[in-house]
Chain A
């Protein structure tokens, strides 16, 4: 898997240009609480991104690895920066419970789309296609259940997500015939959001009364 130059450019523009425009005072779409959350999230992204880069460089030297696909490496660093910023921002702005609901539903929707397209793509008779889609959709169930339970029972849901995250980490982290950058990119994109939601929910102390 390689990330196209246009994709990286687009992702970079989308992730960073709005922030630059806000700092320049051209864009005034956030209120003070959102600006503070955004700046705190940027600091978190700086810390996590910096540490990740240091770890990657150290790992490259230590294990004598090379970067086969530089574009993947750049994408990986972008994903780490952006995901850290996004999660920190959402946790500050929405709190852990609402963030978890949105992230889990987004994962569920993504997996549903993937399951339907994959089921159709595999071909066969109508019944085989339907069975294939249903099998794929079984993986959506934990995400939907997690989204439902995150509001009502945040702490047990958090532990559940940590277990799911650890399972995915083990399952996707096993050595494969893939470049290590690609594997790390997959792990970061799929597992980190689930683990982040799990940690956020486990730390919820009380169900806040957000009234209208």
Chain B
């Protein structure tokens, strides 16, 4: 799980569950591997379009991949 700007994502977990490499996933959604690395590392929040493509690639709803990190706001 990675967090960036109050948004956490589970891209790495879903990718590993499906035994995909970062390069495979990048090719599926039409970005560079470096973009996948940055998303998984929580350094970059993708656009809505890319988030939807990632969700489609994994066959899950987008909110399963990206969630608001409540922990940052609940204190």
State which of A14-22, A179-187, A204-212 sits at the interface with chain B: A204-212
Given A211-B22, A212-B21, A212-B23, check contact A31 B35 (CB 8 Å).
Answer: yes
Assembly CA distance A94 to B44 (angstroms): 12
Query: At the interface, yes or no: B67 with Cβ under 8 Å from chain A?
Result: no
Interface size on B, residues (CB 8 A): 17
Interface string of A75-109 (1 = CB under 8 A from B): 00000000000000000011000000000000000
Whether the Cβ atoms of A31 and B32 lie closer than 8 Å is yes
Whether the Cβ atoms of B30 and A31 lie closer than 8 Å is yes
Q: Which of A33, A210, A212 has the most CB of B within 10 A?
A: A33
Assembly CA distance A33 to B22 (angstroms): 15
Assembly CA distance A198 to B21 (angstroms): 31
Interface string of A24-51 (1 = CB under 8 A from B): 0000000111101000000000000000
| Residues of the B chain whose Cβ atoms lie less than 8 Å from the Cβ of A211 | 22
* Shortest distance from the beta carbon of B32 to any chain A beta carbon, whole Å: 6
Whether the Cβ atoms of B34 and A212 lie closer than 8 Å is no
Whether the Cβ atoms of A33 and B21 lie closer than 8 Å is no
Q: Which of B30, B35, B39 has the most CB of A within 10 A?
A: B35
Assembly CA distance A212 to B25 (angstroms): 10
Given A208-B41, A210-B37, check contact A32 B22 (CB 8 Å).
Answer: no
Interface size on A, residues (CB 8 A): 11
Assembly CA distance A93 to B34 (angstroms): 7
| Residues of the B chain whose Cβ atoms lie less than 8 Å from the Cβ of A94 | 34
* Shortest distance from the beta carbon of B49 to any chain A beta carbon, whole Å: 8
CB interface residues, B 41-55, toward A, < 8 Å:
41, 44, 46-47, 49-50
Assembly CA distance A211 to B21 (angstroms): 8
| Residues of the A chain whose Cβ atoms lie less than 8 Å from the Cβ of B47 | 32
| Residues of the A chain whose Cβ atoms lie less than 8 Å from the Cβ of B44 | 33, 36
* Shortest distance from the beta carbon of B50 to any chain A beta carbon, whole Å: 6
| Residues of the A chain whose Cβ atoms lie less than 8 Å from the Cβ of B23 | 212
Q: Could you give 8 example pairs across A and B, Cβ below 8 Å?
A: A32-B46, A32-B47, A33-B34, A33-B39, A34-B32, A210-B37, A210-B41, A212-B23
- Interface residues, chain A, with chain B CB atoms under 8 Å away: 31-34, 36, 93-94, 208, 210-212
- Interface residues, chain B, with chain A CB atoms under 8 Å away: 21-23, 30-32, 34-35, 37-39, 41, 44, 46-47, 49-50
